[in-house]
Chain A
Amino acid sequence: MKILVTVKRIPDPDESLKFAGGGLDTSSSKWVPNAFDEYAVETALRLAEVAGKRDRLAEVIVMSICPAKQRQHVTQFLAMGADRGVVVDADDSELDTIAVSKAIAAVAKSEGVDLTIVGKLSQDNEGNQVAQRVAGLLNVPQAGFAATVKWDKNAGTLDVGREVDDGVEHKLVPLPAVVSVDLRVVLPTSIKNGVTADSHKYQEGPRLASLRGITMAKRKKVKVLKLSDIGVSSAGSEQVVAVAPPPARPSGQIVGSVEELHEKLAKEAKVL
């Protein structure tokens, strides 16, 4: 089995935003891996590996669309344990959601992958569109916001648990498929691959890149493609008109009693 995992770099969410010329100024941003993509890679690795052994049930390919020279985040994901990488060399200005989705679909097709795993969204623009679009472009089933994944190798299916408003919904999807993952997928027993004991407890959260993993990642193969190599033309269907910081919040008031709070809510804020 081949698993493709999409990964993205984002400006460090812990840094404060800078604005310039009606948009975000990321020229001095520190770039970090998108957290949901770390969950996606962790999902793929837990599906692929047999805990405590060196055997692998699947090849894990990480894919990123970014300037080829700024692919440190790909190295980080390779250091977590992915087998190899594919980088589509493109600048953010050439991209919109459809171009990104087409590029992912094209790589999934040319690599002949059985499963594409993506984070449910990237923390910078919170689009949450890629999984759905890629599934549509590939014409394969999809299961979004996975909290648990159980792989039945013989049946060639995934049982994907999704936490919805009224409980946990299970979707049984035949492979090939596209799955987007949510936060809970990295709880200790969320992933079951049928070979690692179902009772096995992983360390909670995405695994950290070890120093050994980091040094080995440097030797792993990364294929670099251009958008034109995979027949994808650059963006054009979406346009960012403007990005502006939200207005500063007016300062709050400290009230002396519940009665005073009640009166202010009723008379000033008029919400009661």
Chain B
Amino acid sequence: MARAEIDNQSRDAFRRSVRKFVAGEIAPHIEAWEEAHSFPRELYRRAGDLGILAVGFDPAYGGLPGDCSMIIELTQELAAVGSGGLIAGLLSHSIGAPPIEALGSAQLKARVLPEILSGERISALAVTEPGGGSDVANLATTARREGDAYIVNGSKMFITSGMRADYITTAVRTGGPGMEGISMLLIPGDAPGLSRTPLKKMGWWCSDTAALYFDDCRVPANNLIGQEGMGFLGLMQNFNRERLFIAAMAYAFSKVCLDEAVAYARERKTFGRPLIARQVVRHKLVDMATKIAPLASFLRDIGSRIDRGEHPIADVCMLKNVATQCLEHCAKEAVQIFGGSGYMRGTKVERIYRETKVLSIGGGAEEIMKELAARQLGW
């Protein structure tokens, strides 16, 4: 990933633009989009115009300068409306496009990256299968070379933006068993033999999530991303980025929970005094803040290490767990402080509460994170 320098002044200016974009073009509609289980496709184009989708990608293919801390800030601004579905859907290319950038040929990159980064085309990543998610090395979807095409058979599960993605970065088995047999293939949304089914979820309502079925699905051979057998490596590098992004989301939503809870506790009176005057509530708020503060430093630290070109796999796993545990705590306490209102649809904390599990499961489940960290640490 190209990480051109960006000065603080430009960073602040961009953050200001994103804040206005969120306040003016997302906040007024987010409740309706959540209930409708979708947001307008046009939003990708608007985000593309502003440069939101291009942050941190190679300028040669339509990317713009940006590092991990900028992505963390961007996530914070987008999180202000309290919808993880919006972020996951709008930025589904943040997991779908990096394998193309990292492994793809110059020709493939020039063909698809500018369209994705401008918001004209939607990109998704498809790895998980009905038979297993975290066990990537044993995935079962096959791609058989036949002349100038690959014939894909199998299925993918829980794919974010799966219903309307134009380009699906798909992990397939082109070789024998194990990680060496895995390749990445860019499957067009209109490929013959591809069918998709929407899935209903606990949270992330406004993002579309799909099951994908490949039935002798024919994909041009020049859509192979990199070389055959290099897929596993590409995916592992991608996971670091995805997990940092998930940690950034968990951090941002923890802060939203705290801010919402503080505002509500100041306003809501019980027995003649505001909730925030009650020691039990004040301490809940401080406990939330106490978990958030070190997470901020951890996130910044890992972000800057990734920017320096390090691959701190164990730390990223631990960061993801710390962040999602922090969010589970903050969302639970925020809903509790909101009381009955927190159980009602229409409050941010109700929605965030429903969205905590997807972050502790998606991008590598909490238990897998621990196991991977232990292995990385040589235990």
Q: Given the complex of chains A and B, what is the CA–CA distance between A209 and B51 in angstroms?
A: 9
Interface residues on B, range: 20 to 34
| Given A205-B24, A215-B65, residue A210 in contact with residue B17 (CB < 8 A) | yes
CB 8 Å contact bits of B4-24 with A (1 = contact, 0 = none): 001101101110110011001
Does B20 contact A215, Cβ atoms closer than 8 Å? no
| Given A72-B9, A75-B13, A215-B65, residue A210 in contact with residue B49 (CB < 8 A) | yes
- Interface positions, chain A 4-59, Cβ under 8 Å from B, are 32
Among B10, B21, B49, B52, point to the contact of A214 (Cβ < 8 A). Answer: B10
Main secondary structure of the interface of B (DSSP, over half): helix
Q: Given the complex of chains A and B, what is the CA–CA distance between A210 and B119 in angstroms?
A: 14
Chain A residues with Cβ under 8 A from B295's Cβ?
A: none
Among A75, A208, A214, A218, point to the contact of B20 (Cβ < 8 A). Answer: A208
- Does B372 reach chain A (CB closer than 8 Å)? no
- Does B64 reach chain A (CB closer than 8 Å)? yes
CB 8 Å contact bits of B42-62 with A (1 = contact, 0 = none): 000000011110110000000
Q: Given the complex of chains A and B, what is the CA–CA distance between A79 and B16 in angstroms?
A: 12
Chain A residues with Cβ under 8 A from B24's Cβ?
A: 205
- Does B181 reach chain A (CB closer than 8 Å)? no
Q: Given the complex of chains A and B, what is the CA–CA distance between A260 and B221 in angstroms?
A: 82
Chain A residues with Cβ under 8 A from B64's Cβ?
A: 211-212, 215
Closest to B74 in A: A211
Chain B residues with Cβ under 8 A from A72's Cβ?
A: 9, 12-13
- Does A76 reach chain B (CB closer than 8 Å)? yes
A203 smallest CB distance to B (angstroms)? 8
Chain A residues with Cβ under 8 A from B55's Cβ?
A: 211
Among A32, A208, A218, point to the contact of B17 (Cβ < 8 A). Answer: A208
Closest to A71 in B: B9
B138 smallest CB distance to A (angstroms)? 40
- Does B84 reach chain A (CB closer than 8 Å)? no
- Interface positions, chain A 190-242, Cβ under 8 Å from B, are 205, 208-212, 214-215, 218
Q: Given the complex of chains A and B, what is the CA–CA distance between A202 and B21 in angstroms?
A: 15
Does B10 contact A212, Cβ atoms closer than 8 Å? no
Q: Given the complex of chains A and B, what is the CA–CA distance between A212 and B64 in angstroms?
A: 7
| Given A210-B51, A211-B50, residue A75 in contact with residue B66 (CB < 8 A) | no
Chain A residues with Cβ under 8 A from B20's Cβ?
A: 208
- Interface positions, chain B 316-363, Cβ under 8 Å from A, are none
Closest to A38 in B: B20
Q: Given the complex of chains A and B, what is the CA–CA distance between A211 and B15 in angstroms?
A: 9
Does A211 contact B9, Cβ atoms closer than 8 Å? no
Does B9 contact A209, Cβ atoms closer than 8 Å? no
Does A208 contact B21, Cβ atoms closer than 8 Å? yes
| Given A212-B64, A215-B64, residue A79 in contact with residue B13 (CB < 8 A) | yes
- Interface positions, chain A 122-166, Cβ under 8 Å from B, are none
Does A211 contact B21, Cβ atoms closer than 8 Å? no
Closest to A33 in B: B16
Q: Given the complex of chains A and B, what is the CA–CA distance between A205 and B20 in angstroms?
A: 11
Q: Given the complex of chains A and B, what is the CA–CA distance between A218 and B10 in angstroms?
A: 9
Q: Given the complex of chains A and B, what is the CA–CA distance between A266 and B66 in angstroms?
A: 64
Closest to B49 in A: A210
Does A208 contact B50, Cβ atoms closer than 8 Å? yes
Chain B residues with Cβ under 8 A from A218's Cβ?
A: 7, 10
Q: Given the complex of chains A and B, what is the CA–CA distance between A32 and B16 in angstroms?
A: 10
In the assembled complex, 10 residue pairs joining A and B whose CB atoms fall closer than 8 Å, in A order, are A32-B16, A75-B10, A76-B13, A205-B24, A208-B17, A211-B10, A211-B50, A211-B54, A214-B10, A214-B51
Chain B residues at the A interface, C-beta cutoff of 8 Å: 6-7, 9-10, 12-14, 16-17, 20-21, 24, 49-52, 54-55, 64-66
Identify 17 new A-B residue pairs, CB closer than 8 A, beyond the known A210-B17, A212-B54: A72-B9, A72-B12, A72-B13, A75-B9, A75-B13, A76-B13, A79-B13, A205-B24, A209-B14, A210-B49, A210-B51, A211-B14, A211-B55, A211-B64, A212-B64, A214-B17, A214-B51
